[in-house]
Structure 1
């Protein structure tokens, strides 16, 4: 008997390179007739769950006199299922398997509210809110439970930990994404995640995590005006950077960021942040954006992406070479004065930080602006949504006033995920197994 929801994260090959796919155990999952309670005088039994177009999740159990466990988890997935695995380079069924740490005392229910991950090669299965029991003496779960280690309470008087040192700068790594017409995205950068969340002991903390390229797989996809870089690792379920090109202006910029992160000490272990209305790392098509200092991109109020020694170019990439660089000059191409009439908006407001200095001229009522040379790279524009200006007025204090930034809740255009919903139990007439299936809603 089993009651759980499950998320599958897979990596598969396409004609344009590796692709990541995340999907949930669907509401239509069924217990297969091949499930077994074990033959006479044998201790092995199995739970076989089928769903979709030929996908199968199998849990094989063994026992001794005092304990039982999930000896093996096996997942067989059909790459011919174009709805789940679009543009797959291969067809047919691929099978992966791994041993697990799921175990409990005989005549007790294995219970684990926390997430449990099982890594099987190119597939990671994450179980949530799980109740599992094999070799039952009745048709119901036993009231006695064996809790997983993740659910065990921490000591009431733990020793005071030393302060967590800030992580060092992340490793700079070169990423590339190619399509049918060659490379569409070339990026060299170090990535650091800055997240704010509430812990299980009801404390709000802000922590930084470096993306380790040696433990991270990456892929992406290309189209005429959209280039996507996707990264995944053990705890970093998914980080997606989405670059777009405005065909009318030939401007290229980072528009969307999506993060799915597992935080074991968080009140909600699944951390998600999405913003599809950014305008950062901007350059003209055919050019590359480069900045040797740390860039902090505020994605949401609880997540910022820190970029180190970033050098990126999307679209019109010549092989593996970056195009001419922009971004190191602080925005303006020269140090000249910009003359504006009173109340007029600067024509290049999106080009970087300017120090505004009101110098009234009684004859012409003009303003002078000088560039700040201490800022080596321009500030990412429209962080947390679209940044608007009230225009320049007659005092320096008024000139520095800006409308508050806000997040535009626009839908993510190309990345979708599934979330677990209510559970409905189904059973197979030929066995005593049952599985609870989640109802799925799109993100």
Structure 2
């Protein structure tokens, strides 16, 4: 933990920033961190309050002209130079730097009635841990608006369900968002608005109460930068002074039921476009089994994205807090055939944390290039020992789609056919036995016909 004096020297004067990162506990592959932020001005008034969970899904091209997907989350240690309240019109700004040259910042602007943030995310493909075989090396920057729609001034923006924004090859997933910029008198507003994902199906989470003074001590799991006292705006607020780190317990609601019924999921139709032309087509019903928890992918709430190439194509399906990335490749043989090469699954759960499973050495759904693959029966794709996908009513074509239509299909081996084979063999053997017995009896009758008269 840095001292307050050293932190002060890194922040623009006379403006200060408070940044708190909390570790969410849970048995996950990737540690998930929630961001709890207050940006304060010189008079110690809050100009930005934000609280959310987020991760990044990045698709990149490899040296072998294939596309891979990698998932990036905020690590435990980040840098935050450049965060400030700025001025009355163009601020505030939250800037985060982390890892090997990665940075994320959001700057807010306002009109007479609304405010909105502009996200700039820069990732470094020289980071060999995340991009071991990237074709393009260096810094890549994408930008997008968030929230997606302008928010009325003096209004808190809330999004409990997973809300994602896509820009270029990056999908940013947000969840459990509580956000307000340009706070009047430094206090959160009583007025609230929700994102599109929350508008119909989910209740609004409670807005933190900044007036409470109840405090609860915890162990040293927070990273705090400030030169003055900071007020943590959870339901039970905390005063943080010179050498004391305190925070309150928080309650986070899950946006998806922990268990789903064991039923056949609805079949959805998905497509990916290359400019204006459809280059990938898929119809399927998907059910995810993550650590023995079944979750159906709902086509009505699922969005499809991705990219197409000559040797590799990617289909990304995002349903609320589930992201499934399917990567297809072409085999380097004299008979060109495509197959499912990799599957990446990310489940964002505010109770258990972010769960991630991936495998890039698969050989499912193989068919000739220029045709489609079809399987009417249930197929189970084992991604890892704790993660599998159940697929129903599948038809997919990741390459050479013509006029937005499926080409002739190559079907999987039917389980019914496999079941019939032993029956047919048994019947044939039985008939052979019957025929042999009949011929035997006929031959025996001829031999028993007696002696002829001389």
Q: Which residue of 2 aligns with 1:146?
A: 248
Moved more, 48-57 or 218-227: 48-57
User: Given the superposition, is the C-alpha separation of residues 126 and 244 from structure 1 closer, same or farther in structure 2, using an over 3 Å criterion?
Assistant: same
Q: Which residue of 1 aligns with 2:49?
A: none
Q: Which residue of 1 aligns with 2:120?
A: 77
Taking the aligned partners of 1:328 and 1:92, their CA distance within structure 2 comes to: 40
Deviation of 1:275 after TM superposition, in Å, equals 1.4
- 3-state SS of 1:147 partner: coil
- 3-state SS of 1:149 partner: coil
User: Given the superposition, is the C-alpha separation of residues 258 and 286 from structure 1 closer, same or farther in structure 2, using an over 3 Å criterion?
Assistant: same
Taking the aligned partners of 1:33 and 1:302, their CA distance within structure 2 comes to: 40
Task: Say yes or no: does 1:275 pair with 2:395.
Answer: no
Q: Which residue of 1 aligns with 2:381?
A: 297
Q: Which residue of 2 aligns with 1:330?
A: 414
5 Å matches for 1:348-367? none
Contact 1:79 1:94 in 2 (8 A): no
Q: 1:245 aligns with which of 326, 330, 334?
A: 330
Q: Which residue of 2 aligns with 1:134?
A: 230
Q: Which residue of 2 aligns with 1:310?
A: 394
Q: Which residue of 2 aligns with 1:179?
A: 274
Q: Which residue of 1 aligns with 2:368?
A: 284
Deviation of 1:33 after TM superposition, in Å, equals 5.8
Task: Say yes or no: does 1:48 pair with 2:132.
Answer: no
Instruction: Return 5+ residue gaps in structure 2 as ranges.
Output: 1-17, 22-32, 35-53, 60-67, 110-114, 167-171, 178-220, 232-238, 427-454
Deviation of 1:211 after TM superposition, in Å, equals 0.8
User: When the two structures are superposed, what TM-score results if normalisation uses the length of structure 2?
Assistant: 0.49
Task: Say yes or no: does 1:223 pair with 2:309.
Answer: yes
Contact 1:80 1:93 in 2 (8 A): no
Moved more, 307-316 or 92-101: 92-101
Any idea what the Cα deviations from partners look like across 1:306-353, whole Å, max 9, x if unmatched? 111101122222222212222255399xx9xxxxxxxxxxxxxxxx89
Q: Which residue of 2 aligns with 1:398?
A: none
Deviation of 1:34 after TM superposition, in Å, equals 2.5
Contact 1:48 1:57 in 2 (8 A): yes
User: Given the superposition, is the C-alpha separation of residues 146 and 120 from structure 1 closer, same or farther in structure 2, using an over 3 Å criterion?
Assistant: farther
Larger radius of gyration between Structure 1 and Structure 2: 2
Deviation of 1:235 after TM superposition, in Å, equals 1.1
Q: How many residues align?
A: 283
Contact 2:357 2:383 in 1 (8 A): yes
Contact 1:176 1:186 in 2 (8 A): yes
Q: Which has the higher helix share?
A: 2
- 3-state SS of 1:286 partner: coil
Q: Which residue of 2 aligns with 1:2?
A: 19
Deviation of 1:138 after TM superposition, in Å, equals 2.5
Q: 2:298 aligns with which of 200, 212, 219?
A: 212
Taking the aligned partners of 2:266 and 2:158, their CA distance within structure 1 comes to: 32
User: Given the superposition, is the C-alpha separation of residues 243 and 354 from structure 1 closer, same or farther in structure 2, using an over 3 Å criterion?
Assistant: farther
- 3-state SS of 1:278 partner: coil
Q: Which residue of 2 aligns with 1:124?
A: 173
Contact 1:227 1:314 in 2 (8 A): yes
User: Given the superposition, is the C-alpha separation of residues 278 and 82 from structure 1 closer, same or farther in structure 2, using an over 3 Å criterion?
Assistant: closer
User: Given the superposition, is the C-alpha separation of residues 280 and 48 from structure 1 closer, same or farther in structure 2, using an over 3 Å criterion?
Assistant: closer
User: Given the superposition, is the C-alpha separation of residues 49 and 165 from structure 1 closer, same or farther in structure 2, using an over 3 Å criterion?
Assistant: closer
Deviation of 1:137 after TM superposition, in Å, equals 6.2
User: Given the superposition, is the C-alpha separation of residues 215 and 282 from structure 1 closer, same or farther in structure 2, using an over 3 Å criterion?
Assistant: same
Contact 2:230 2:241 in 1 (8 A): no
Instruction: Return 5+ residue gaps in structure 1 as ranges.
Output: 13-18, 40-44, 61-71, 103-115, 153-162, 197-205, 336-351, 358-367, 371-443
Higher relative contact order (CA 8 A, sep 6+): 1
User: When the two structures are superposed, what TM-score results if normalisation uses the length of structure 1?
Assistant: 0.50
Taking the aligned partners of 1:215 and 1:283, their CA distance within structure 2 comes to: 29
Taking the aligned partners of 2:253 and 2:223, their CA distance within structure 1 comes to: 13
Deviation of 1:264 after TM superposition, in Å, equals 4.3
Taking the aligned partners of 1:139 and 1:281, their CA distance within structure 2 comes to: 60
